[in-house]
Amino acid sequence: MRDEVRGVADLLAGRRVAVLTGAGISTDSGIPSYRGVGARPRARPMTIQTYLADESARRRYWLGGHLGWTAFTAPDPNDGHLALSRLERAGAVSGIVTQNVDGLHLRAGSTRVVELHGTMHRVLCLDCGQVFDRRAVAERLERLNPWVRQPETIELNPDGDVTPESTEGFVIPPCTVCGGMLKPEVVFFGEFVPAARFRGAESLLRASDALLVAGTSLTVNSGIRIIERARRRGIPLVIVNREPTRADGWADAVIPGGTSEVLGALAAQLA
C-alpha cells in the first residue's frame, strides 16, 4: 500500500483536492454503516413517505433515536477525520462533501464541510421551518416521557438508533413555535437532497482540481452525482474504500484499504 499512497500523493501534489466521504470513514469511530464489512443492514429503513403518513412509525423512530442518541454522539473523530482536517490546514484539501450525518468532520476541525444528507444534531419543523438543537429536543422528550430508560447495553443501528421493544405511551414533542411536526434535519430514503445544499457541494468542487473519495461504495445517487460533475471537468479522481465502488472504473487511482490508515499515510505525504 505504501507505493500506492506515494503514487496518489504524486498525483494530487500541488492540487486543491475536494473530498467526498461516506459511512466508511466513521466506522473506525464505532458508528455502524449500512454496507460493507461488519455492516448491519436494515430490512426497512425509514422513508419520508412512511414518516409523514404513519404516526406509529414516527413514534418508533423518535424513541429509537432517543435511546441511541447518547451512544451516537459519544464517538470521537478517528485518524481519517483528523487526517483530512490536517490536509485542509495545509492547504491541500479545499473542503469536504460528506454523506454522513454524525458531525465528526466538524469536530475533527475541518471548517469547509457540506453535509449533503444533513445532520442528526439539528431538528427541523416541517410546518414552519424553525430549526432546533437536537439536545434541546432531547430534553423536552425526556420531560414528556419520564418513564423512558436507557437500555443497559446498546447496539446501534446504521441510523444511530436502537430498536425499541415498545412505543406504548410515547409522546413526540411538537414544534414550540407552531405545534407542527418535527423531523431530524437529515435526508430520509425517498427524499431529495435540498437543491441549495447540492449547489454548495458543486461550488466546492468547482473550486478544486481533484476529487478524493473516501469510505463510500457510492451506492447512493447523491454521491454518484458528485462523481459525474468531476468527470465532466476531467479532473483526477482517487477512491479509497475497503470494497469495490460503482466508480472504480472511472478512477485514476483506487486504493482498497481503510480510510484511517490510508488517509493518515496520505496526509504524511501531502501535509
Active centre residues (catalytic)? 117
Tell me how many degrees the CA angle 115-120-126 measures, rounded to the nearest 5.
95
C-alpha to C-alpha distance for 226 and 237, rounded to whole angstroms:
11
Inter-residue contact 99 to 220 (CB < 8 Å): yes
Instruction: Choose among 263, 254, 227: nearest CA to 93.
Output: 263
Distance in angstroms between the alpha carbons of the first and the last residue of the chain: 18
Q: At what angle do helices 134-144 and 55-73 cross, to 10 degrees?
A: 120
C-alpha to C-alpha distance for 12 and 8, rounded to whole angstroms:
6
Tell me how many degrees the CA angle 116-118-124 measures, rounded to the nearest 5.
145
Q: What is the SS3 assignment for 85?
A: helix
CB environment 110-122: b (16+ within 10 A), e (fewer): bebbbbbbbbbbb
